[in-house]
Amino acid sequence: PIYKGIKVPVLWGTDAVHGHNNVIGATLFPHNIGLGASGNVDLMKSIGEAIALEVLSTGVAWTFAPTVAVPQDDRWGRTYEGFSEDPLLVSKLGKAFVLGLQGEGDMLLDNNHVIATAKHFMGDGGTFEGIDQGNTRISEIGLRELHGYPYFDALDACAQTVMASFNSWNGKKLHGYEELLTDILKKDMQFDGFVVGDWNGHGQVEGCSNAKCAQSFNAGVDMFMVPENWKDLLRNTIRQVKSGEISETRLDEAVRNILRVKSRLGLFNGRVPHEFKENYLGDPKHIALARQAVRESLVLLKNNKQLLPLNPSQHIGIIGDAAKKISSQTGGWTITWQGRENLNSDFINVNSIYEALEEAVISSGGTIEFSNNGKFNKDPDVVIGIFGEEPYAEMLGDLKDVSFNATDPKFLPLLEAMNAQNIPTVSIFLSGRPLVVNRQLNASDAFIAAWLPGSAVEGIADVIFTNDNKINYDFVGKLSYSWPKTKDQAVLNYTDSIYDPLFPFGYGLTYASDLEVERIQTNRSNSKLDLLNVFLGAASIPGKEFVVTQAGPEFVLEDDYVSANSKVKITRFDYQRQDDAKNIVFMDDQSLQAFGISAESPVSLSSMKAPFYEIIMRVNSLANPALYFSVGCGNNCRGSAELPTELMTDWSTINIPLSCLEKDGLDKTKIQVRGLFLSEEAINFDLSSIVIKDGKATGKVISC
């Protein structure tokens, strides 16, 4: 835009949170939870410098990083975005990250640096029960000294932008909290950059929508982050200024704040970020830095009989699907939002953990073999098991408790079988938070918390294997989060008055340690299942969506998908939040079409007393075509119910008692296809969620 003859440059930002992670070929560093375990301030600054160069290589000069949350409840699905439960450690690493991204002194915001964002202001890591975007219930002193503490150092490092948080503080949304955004941040803390909102966060403020929110602007948000409704929001904001609902003084203040940051970046003095001449994506020096970060982020929890380091010239057995899935090591915020849809082929010059270990073993004269059933062509001298959480990001990563929920059902029985045969076993656990893995720990002679290491997993081989029979690299990582011993220890922090972790904050063995970890008490009884997520904007188990057409079944591996015969089209979109719904169109009115979600293995709902399906969806077709919902339990085993499409022309919550599906033939002890929509007519419908719940259904209940 041009104002009074002056060209006002555009400022483009991106979520480069563990590398330039939205760009294929960029270096992927460990997520913050791993960098917190390293505790290395100099390393953190160097990573910030590397990320700045890779972001600039694509013509972008602003990143929405670092996250300086202080997670207090590990059920929160964004725990891994926080460096630590300790505000002091978060503060030190957050400041170093800002200095690396933006530079300092004469290099502040020069041509090799970008604008940083301290986020999410504030209290995002303290929500009740770890619910993402929930309510942080804490006193003002607690808010300042715990969740606000890292912002003092981030602003001291000259962070130019601060992102408002989705959460509430004591019931009031941060996007509309003037006392925090203006009185405290801008006045008391003297922040003179600009406040940016989060993705449609203003729309969650009471009395607001995504297209209209004077309250958020007046509270102190200088720049809205609005994806789809920006034209309406612009028109409405202009009207609100003209009507006096937003004062011209407040508008001028926001404009000045934004222009001030653009000026500091040099955009009014000839700097043009999209003309950056170099290409640092995947630079070898950055990959080496990422490899160092992986080495320093690993935490050795157990090393009985000092099994590690291993001699790589042996015959090494590998088990665990995660060994060969790169998405398991990169986690969320990687290429895609949730990170779970990614295939190995999406990553350029990146090894899986298996491939990284294979290179190290073969180059040392050893042999290596992968098995998914515990059978090896040659008896292994040692077995390395690699397992962990599936990728997730905000909204889809929250847990009911801190039990590890395995999506590779074969892994634990295999690990226990290897251990029972007295084969030395090493486990490498990939996760975004500490979780209860007591059985896996008991079945392992050595156990490593590897977090979400990113692309340079050769760093794992550097540490666990010897070099010429000598230690190559020792373990230096220490727990930046307390490790639970029971599933109900979701809130477990070293400042607790009653503190009883399995492994305490700061714990981490080295090769000099001779500590023997004793067998840990486990509870093999199955916890009662009272909720099962099937679909939350996408299948809860990645890669398990499928369509059926006249041409046969096909797995849906992309957000936007068209079937082979072009008769089924699927498009992901934003309903209430980012990517939280899919539009499904059946175009054939002559034959059966279906969209469904399967599972890795059958699940039993026998522990539920009154299970029912809760489906949130909308039918867009003007006519009322017949649409059925079905649940499958094997060959010739399923139950179906017709949906009342005439009552679903707006977003509706439909409840289907499982008893109705049982009457139609479903066996609830072996559910394999967890949800299936079928029609022989053309139909267009939107689907937001499918959840299996236990209890009394409310709203529209399908009768049988």
**629 three-state secondary structure:** strand
- Residues designated as active site: 198, 394
- d(CA 15, CA 65) in angstroms, rounded, equals 7
- d(CA 642, CA 630) in angstroms, rounded, equals 9
Burial class (CB in 10 A: 0-12, 13-18, 19+), 526: exposed
- d(CA 570, CA 564) in angstroms, rounded, equals 12
Q: Please count the other Cβ atoms lying within 10 Å of the Cβ belonging to residue 64.
A: 21
**If we measure between CA atoms, which residue out of 316, 430, 407 comes closest to residue 365?**
316
- d(CA 621, CA 625) in angstroms, rounded, equals 8
- d(CA 181, CA 155) in angstroms, rounded, equals 14
Q: Is the distance from CB of 55 to CB of 107 less than 8 angstroms?
A: no
Residue identified by tokens 């009653």 is 498
- d(CA 462, CA 336) in angstroms, rounded, equals 29
**If we measure between CA atoms, which residue out of 508, 507, 489 comes closest to residue 499?**
489
Angle at 126 between CA 123 and CA 131, to 5 degrees: 110
Structure tokens at 275: 């003309």
**548 three-state secondary structure:** strand
Structure tokens at 339: 């990170």
- d(CA 27, CA 288) in angstroms, rounded, equals 10
- d(CA 660, CA 704) in angstroms, rounded, equals 5
